[in-house]
Structure 1
Amino acid sequence: MFLTKNYYGLGTEINLSLQSISEDQDTIFLDETYRLIEKYEDLLTVNRTNSEIMSINRNAGKSFVSVSEITYSILKKSYEASLKNEGFNFTIGPLVKLWKIGFDGANLPRPEQIGAKLDLIDPEQVVFNDKKRAVKLQLTGMEIDLGAIAKGYIADAVKNFWQRSGILSGIINLGGNILLVGSSRHGHGRWQIGVQDPFKIKNLPLGILTDLRDCSVVTSGIYERYLKLNGMFYHHMFDSKTGYPIKNDLSSVTIVSKKSIDADLWSTIAFYNGSKKGLALVEKNPNIGAVFVKNDAGILLSSNLENKFKLLDQQFHLNI
């Protein structure tokens, strides 16, 4: 049987499931897994007063801050991805804090407030000292935000821990970052994962990804966190060039990849670039699969997922 435990962390509900041998021992193991997640959150969060990332942010424009190997590793990965200018930007923190979408005090900032923050969003103003494992933000007011990559990084760390511990089958779900460990008990060892309908209630799938094995599935969508104000809708994924929520033809993007950190990055990149350009970028990488759900209920699939997707809701249509 499968043993499942629910926790709260990373600002969301966490579900951990594994093929159980001894319920008592497995319960202890899952609690140990949760403590590992808490350890990573303590280092990487920007939603608390104290963390290694917050120490860097507080010292923006002042000094270098030495950090742990864990934090330094994810910052270097985030920096390299941000420099590609494909839609992911880990210095977007000032915008996130200004809008506060998904948090208390969510608001529509004035144009001049947004303009002032745009000057602070520049990954080239982040400096690294590899010998001292230290990081400095060059401009006062700069802020790193790892919300678009941290859960993927942590999910991969959890999977590594499970594999070292001999877990043969399980599911790590960090609030939408799903990582499949080993083989499923059903379907000849293959997993099936639902793709959320972005226009309806949570956990109602529009279709199912099938024939999956030992991979990560991550979705970015406009339905996750948003603000409705004066008849207008503002979601939480921002365009670092305009300072406003990204505007294009997409409601969500679901990415399938080996590592969850790659799925995190690509869900942001693919969403930012819209269905046409986003699909073209995905197709250049054979290790990435994507399901694009458009605002008009059309669905685009990367070629490597065309035989792994089953449509359930006929209100949607496949654009082939």
Structure 2
Amino acid sequence: MKKLVGIFVLLTTVVLTGCFDDKQEIEPIVIQGKTMGTTYTVKAFPINEDLTAETLKTEVDNTLIAVNQSMSPWVKNSEINQFNTLAANTFMPISDDFKSVVKESVRLGVSTTTLDVTMGPLIDLWGFGPDKRPTKTPSQSQLDEMKARIGVDKLVLTDEGLAKTIDGLELSFSATAKGFGIDKVAELLEAKGMTNYMVEIGGELRIAGTKAQSQPWRIAIEQPDAPAGQRQVHKVIEPGNNGMATSGDYRIFYEMDGETYTHLIDPGTGKPVKHDLVSVTVLHPSAMTADGLATALTVMGTERAKAYAEEHNLAVYLISKSNEGLVTYSSPAFAPYL
């Protein structure tokens, strides 16, 4: 996946001191590696003593390689690249995994109106893609032209496959593919009978069960106004059996002509967001859904995000800036995890 697209996930995933007790009866398998332009960590308590870290790492790597082969724009013949070069009104057969990510991405896009998996060219226009940063602000006419060429309403998904209604439409699963990869690894662990694990990719998580001695997993949310170069804990939560994703606007930005531009683009305006919401954490059984929602809610801003979370009974934690400092909000569904 594009490196930039995962870096607004700003969750501190290091489990706090005391995560694994030296006296525990079952030693966890701990494996680490690289994927999707970032790193991954898996900590799992096996039920089969014959399962080795080497064997599990091979299976995890193969699972993530398959996700990349399907959804990474950096893999030459990936499914997503094949679709992105496809002519309009031509159906392309797609894998079940690709279909799952398309369906959930489109569902979230329609529901939130602030997540658009066809928005890659707009992100590039503002200099947050592989292209260089612009030397001047894009004009309104440029934005209008670009907005006319994007939108999930221009995707057609049927039993025959996936098609686009206009030439040039491209997909980018930057807000959902990493979470999907986490879910696939979790499925692998559960297929092996493991019910106590933590899977982390680039700061996003999926957790199940407990640590040793039935102790809950405890995860830290990062302090968004920590000094540059430092990472500080804002709050520690117990996520339960959930995926967990955090999105924020406080690390990826640039300044031009006296204005600050963040990497979070509102597909409605075509412009980087300008509001006081700096961090959104979402808990959801699916890491893919948590991933997409964290981005969508951040783009919404504080009040819209609150209303959406409560309307849809989502477990959401918001951190916003104010004249008096940081202000936090936890939705009713988030309260049990504090």
Q: TM-score range by the shorter chain?
A: 0.7 to 0.9
Task: State the aligned residue count.
Answer: 304
Bigger mean CA offset, 24-33 vs 170-179:
24-33
- Read off the aligned partner of 2:147 and give its amino acid letter: L
What is the DSSP-based 3-state SS (H/G/I as helix, E as strand, rest coil) of the residue aligned with 2:266?
coil
**1:106-152 deviations in Å (ceiling 9; x for gaps):** 4365224333211111211111231x2x2111112211111111112
What's the offset of the Cα at 1:174? 1.0
Q: Does 1:31 find its partner at 2:58? A: yes
- Read off the aligned partner of 2:276 and give its amino acid letter: D
Bigger mean CA offset, 290-299 vs 201-210:
201-210
Contact 1:91/1:121 (<8 A) preserved: yes
The residue number in structure 1 matching 2:292 is 265
The residue number in structure 2 matching 1:181 is 208
RMSD of the alignment, in Å?
Answer: 2.3
- Read off the aligned partner of 1:264 and give its amino acid letter: D
C-alpha distance in structure 2 between counterparts of 1:254 and 1:85, whole Å? 16
The residue number in structure 2 matching 1:10 is 36
Contact 1:43/1:52 (<8 A) preserved: yes
Q: Which residue of 218, 228, 235 corresponds with 1:192?
A: 218
The residue number in structure 2 matching 1:299 is 328
Q: Does 1:144 find its partner at 2:165? A: no
Bigger mean CA offset, 298-307 vs 161-170:
298-307
Q: Which residue of 145, 148, 163 corresponds with 1:116?
A: 145
Superposed, 1:18-167 pairs within 5 Å as 18-19=44-45, 25-61=52-88, 63-101=90-128, 103=130, 105-107=132-134, 110-111=138-139, 112-130=141-159, 132=160, 134-167=161-194
What is the DSSP-based 3-state SS (H/G/I as helix, E as strand, rest coil) of the residue aligned with 1:47?
coil
CA 1:104–1:23 in structure 2 vs 1: closer, same or farther (change >3 Å)? farther
- Read off the aligned partner of 2:289 and give its amino acid letter: D
The residue number in structure 2 matching 1:316 is none
Contact 2:203/2:245 (<8 A) preserved: yes
Percent identity reads 21
Contact 2:266/2:273 (<8 A) preserved: yes
The residue number in structure 2 matching 1:312 is none
What's the offset of the Cα at 1:46? 2.3
C-alpha distance in structure 2 between counterparts of 1:26 and 1:83, whole Å? 41
What is the DSSP-based 3-state SS (H/G/I as helix, E as strand, rest coil) of the residue aligned with 1:272?
helix
The residue number in structure 1 matching 2:307 is 280
**1:22-65 deviations in Å (ceiling 9; x for gaps):** 69712320231122011111101223433111111111436222
C-alpha distance in structure 2 between counterparts of 1:127 and 1:13, whole Å? 33
What's the offset of the Cα at 1:272? 2.2
C-alpha distance in structure 2 between counterparts of 1:81 and 1:137, whole Å? 18
- Read off the aligned partner of 2:31 and give its amino acid letter: K
C-alpha distance in structure 1 between counterparts of 2:87 and 2:127, whole Å? 20
CA 1:52–1:299 in structure 2 vs 1: closer, same or farther (change >3 Å)? same
What's the offset of the Cα at 1:19? 2.8
- Read off the aligned partner of 1:8 and give its amino acid letter: K
Relative contact order (C-alpha < 8 Å, sep 6+): which is higher?
2
CA 1:285–1:41 in structure 2 vs 1: closer, same or farther (change >3 Å)? same
C-alpha distance in structure 2 between counterparts of 1:225 and 1:110, whole Å? 19
CA 1:10–1:30 in structure 2 vs 1: closer, same or farther (change >3 Å)? same
What is the DSSP-based 3-state SS (H/G/I as helix, E as strand, rest coil) of the residue aligned with 2:166?
coil
What is the DSSP-based 3-state SS (H/G/I as helix, E as strand, rest coil) of the residue aligned with 1:295?
strand
What's the offset of the Cα at 1:100? 4.1
TM value normalised by structure 1: 0.86
Structure 1 unaligned segments of length 5 or more: list them. Answer: 310-320
What is the DSSP-based 3-state SS (H/G/I as helix, E as strand, rest coil) of the residue aligned with 2:30?
strand
Contact 1:60/1:142 (<8 A) preserved: no
Contact 2:126/2:138 (<8 A) preserved: no
CA 1:302–1:29 in structure 2 vs 1: closer, same or farther (change >3 Å)? same
C-alpha distance in structure 1 between counterparts of 2:231 and 2:193, whole Å? 30
The residue number in structure 2 matching 1:204 is 232
- Read off the aligned partner of 2:166 and give its amino acid letter: L
Contact 2:266/2:272 (<8 A) preserved: yes
Structure 2 unaligned segments of length 5 or more: list them. Answer: 1-26
The residue number in structure 2 matching 1:241 is 268
C-alpha distance in structure 2 between counterparts of 1:16 and 1:237, whole Å? 29
